[in-house]
Structure 1
Amino acid sequence: MADSEPGTEAWRKHASAFDRVQAVSQSLSTPRSASWIAAEASVSERTAREHLNRLVKMTVLLEFNNKGTKAYAADPIYQRFQVVRELLDEHDSDGLLDLKENLYAQIEAWQKEYEVNSPEGLREHATRIDNTERTTEIRRTAAEWDITEYRLDVVEDVIDNYVTYM
């Protein structure tokens, strides 16, 4: 994150270096190097490495070797646990069933609207569209569909194990 960007100074003032490194590393969609994370978190590379190693030991992050360079990415098991905890904190058993119904309804609406059965089918559909704006919209919907399916999977797991988790 460039020092000149609005909000950088406030972020430094109100969030610890550890919190900034964790926030950046948890938002990664692909593994990134410590130097990249350091720049985004507005910390030194040494500080980033220290915090990244701590997050790996805490099983919050996974460490990869990318052509001789260490790279870091969020641990999907940790992320799933976070979603489970959030669902349990925000919903009782009936609320989880309502959420499941709403997620299914959203998926069914996309299936009907686009006449496809999956996010992959929707992405395939997007390749046949000549309008850039419409293609972007369809690809964004496919990404939302992926997230909705993931959330539905977690919701079903929480429903199935509600008594155990509580």
Structure 2
Amino acid sequence: MTEDERDTSAGPPMTRGERIRAAARTLRTPRTASWVAKETEVSVKTAQKYLDQLVEDNVLRTVEQGEQTLYCVDQLMATYREVATLQREHSRQDLTSGLESMRAKVSDWKQSYDVESPGELRASIADVDDADESETRQDIASEWEHLLDRITIVRAALNEYDWATERDSISV
């Protein structure tokens, strides 16, 4: 491997491909190959090569905007992979307990703040004079939104738990 293929910054050196793959996995907002190239300090041609490989591997997807091709994380495939990981790494009971715990937190927040959603909790900040309480409500609203996403994924893992574990077993 040549010197210019290695990242010489602190930490373990990364190849150009590793830098592009690492950056690509964080693309929540669609970006061009030239944007990724600039962020990872590679040529546009090199970025395009690795980004296209990630599209073929169902890690990224493309979006056409005018004459530009934009790349972003394939959320559907990322969710499928996350559901499969949960099913492989946790028992049905662990997933059920986790789901109950998340739902209990959400229920406690609804009751404590007399609101039905993270948006309502954020709106309630207008009624609070204390900066610490305002920050607490913002933090809880963010965590609540995160838990709502997690609840959906854990439910999907539980819904198809038997089907997935049956197909995931390896016969010897």
Indicate if the aligned counterparts of 1:25 and 1:73 stay in contact, CA closer than 8 A.
yes
Summarize the alignment of residues 37-116 of structure 1 with structure 2, pairs less than 5 Å apart. Answer: 37-116=36-115
Amino acid in the other structure paired with 2:82: V
TM-score normalised by structure 2 residue count: 0.78
Summarize the alignment of residues 124-163 of structure 1 with structure 2, pairs less than 5 Å apart. Answer: 124-126=123-125, 135=134, 137-163=136-162
CA distance in 2, matches of 1:123, 1:105: 20
Amino acid in the other structure paired with 2:71: Y
Between 96-105 and 137-146, report the one with greater CA deviation: 137-146
Residue equivalent to 1:28: 27
Q: Secondary structure at the match of 2:9?
A: helix
CA distance in 2, matches of 1:18, 1:132: 45
CA shift, 1:128, in A, is 5.3
Gaps of 5+ in 2: 1-6, 166-172
CA shift, 1:103, in A, is 1.0
CA distance in 1, matches of 2:162, 2:90: 13
Deviation per residue, 1:8-66 (Å, 9 max, x gap):
724671x3333322221221221112222223233322211111111112221111123
Indicate if the aligned counterparts of 2:83 and 2:157 stay in contact, CA closer than 8 A.
yes
| Distance change (3 Å), C-alpha of 1:21 and 1:109 | farther
Aligned length: 159
TM-score normalised by structure 1 residue count: 0.80
| Distance change (3 Å), C-alpha of 1:23 and 1:125 | farther
Q: Secondary structure at the match of 1:79?
A: helix
Indicate if the aligned counterparts of 2:84 and 2:157 stay in contact, CA closer than 8 A.
no
Residue equivalent to 1:9: 9
Amino acid in the other structure paired with 2:56: K
Residue identity over aligned pairs, in percent, reads 28
CA shift, 1:132, in A, is 6.5
Q: Secondary structure at the match of 2:47?
A: helix
CA distance in 2, matches of 1:37, 1:132: 38
